[in-house]
Amino acid sequence: MDSRNPRGPLRAGEDIILVDPKGEEHLLTLTPGKPIGTHRGNILHDDIIGKPDGSRVWTARGAEYRVFRPTFNQYIMNLKRHAQIIYPKDIGPILLWADVFPGATVIEAGIGWGALTIKLLEAVGPTGHITSYEIREDFAESGKKTVSRFLGECSNLEVKLRDIYQGIEEKDVDRIVLDLPEPWRVVAHAGGALVPGGIILSYLPSTVQVKQMVDSVNEHGSFSEPEVFEVIHRPWHVKGLSVRPVQWMFSHSAFIITCRKIT
Ligand code: SAH
């Protein structure tokens, strides 16, 4: 986890976000000698390489674009994705409610597109460890690539091509974070893998799944009463005298359910 360098001039080989005059974002990798074709004229990658983060650049026809090192949100939201990700609005609360701390040992399933994995790695830091169970080989590979493209190689990430419903091999795990359809099939395994007081968090889109998870945790008997919530993020439009919530919002992603292991 060493190549995310948020300082200094933009370098060849780095990812950037190009923001067009309408505010739309484009993720691309700076490549010497390459042009960026826009319908407002071309910009050369060489015109961007060596500029500071946050620079203004102009097309040959004079249209102004802005160029930034991608934040995590910009990186994730602009990737061409093939799997459903956990949205940034939920990732922050997940890290807090799962209480992911520096040095923690965390199991997640599955890696999917790797959005959550990036933030788990940052939260546990170099002394922590993430094991990601994933049943699909293509997602195991693309998830690892998405992570290393943003963070560089992470020696403390292990991706296991395994079905977590079959069991968890690790012991003394601090936190388990589940983004898969039937987390109740992991409850008994989690009971054996977690340290006392350890946390299991699951992320579920439908109320029927939430009910099944809560019932399973309660029936198991080794967990505290689950806490269930959702996160509503309401952006506002602030332009001139128009100061109001946006008209259309992303209203639902998933519920977050947490509980702690008791002895
Ligand atoms: N949290 C990820 C998205 C995960 S999508 C992100 O933020 O990008 C759900 C993933 O779980 C898929 O990749 C799917 O293949 C994987 N999965 C589903 N059931 C599983 C199981 N039983 N064991 C391991 N992985 C599983």
73-91 per-position pLDDT tens digit: 999 999 987 678 898 999 9
- Give the single-character DSSP code of 99: T
Kindly state whether residues 136 and 30 are assigned to the same domain.
no
What is the layout of strands, in order, in the sheet containing 64-68?
A: 25-29, 15-19, 64-68, 55-58
What phi-psi label fits residue 96: left (phi over 0), alpha (psi between -120 and 50 degrees) or beta?
A: alpha
Residues 202, 248 within the same domain: yes
User: Which among 70, 100, 117 is the end of a domain?
Assistant: 70
Give me the mean pLDDT over the 7-27 stretch.
Answer: 95
Total number of domains constituting the chain: 2
Answer for the pair 160, 144: CB distance below 8 angstroms, yes or no.
Answer: no
The alpha carbon of 165 and the centre of ligand 1 are apart by a number of angstroms equal to 12
> Are the beta carbons of 199 and 99 closer than 8 angstroms?
yes
Percent of the chain as helix, strand, coil, to the nearest 5: 30, 30, 45
How high is the pLDDT of residue 5? 65
Which among 166, 211, 217 has a CA at the least distance from the CA of 189? Answer: 166
- What is the tens place of the pLDDT at every residue in 48-66? 999 999 999 999 999 999 9
Residue nearest to atom 21 of ligand 1 (CA): 163
pLDDT reported for residue 237: 96
Atom of ligand 1 nearest to the CA of 133: 24
Among the candidates 53, 70, 87, a domain finishes at: 70
Same domain membership, residue 241 and residue 225: yes
Q: Is residue 4 part of a domain?
A: no
Rounded to the nearest angstrom, the distance between the alpha carbon of 113 and the centre of ligand 1 is 9
Question: Domain range for residue 60?
Answer: 15-70
Please say if the pLDDT value at position 45 is more than 80.
yes
Are 79 and 25 within 8 A, CB to CB?
no
Looking at the fold, whether 36 and 88 belong to one and the same domain comes out as no
Residue of 85, 118, 135 best suited for mutating to test ligand 1, as the one with most atoms within 8 Å of CB: 135
pTM listed for this prediction: 0.95
Region 34-44 average pLDDT: 94
- State the pLDDT confidence band at 4, using cuts at 50, 70 and 90: low
Residue 177 sits in a domain whose CATH number is: 3.40.50.150
Instruction: Give the pLDDT confidence of 189-222 residue by residue, as tens digits.
Output: 999 999 999 999 999 999 999 999 999 999 999 9
* Same domain, residue pair 46 and 88: no
Q: Is there a domain that residue 19 lies in? A: yes
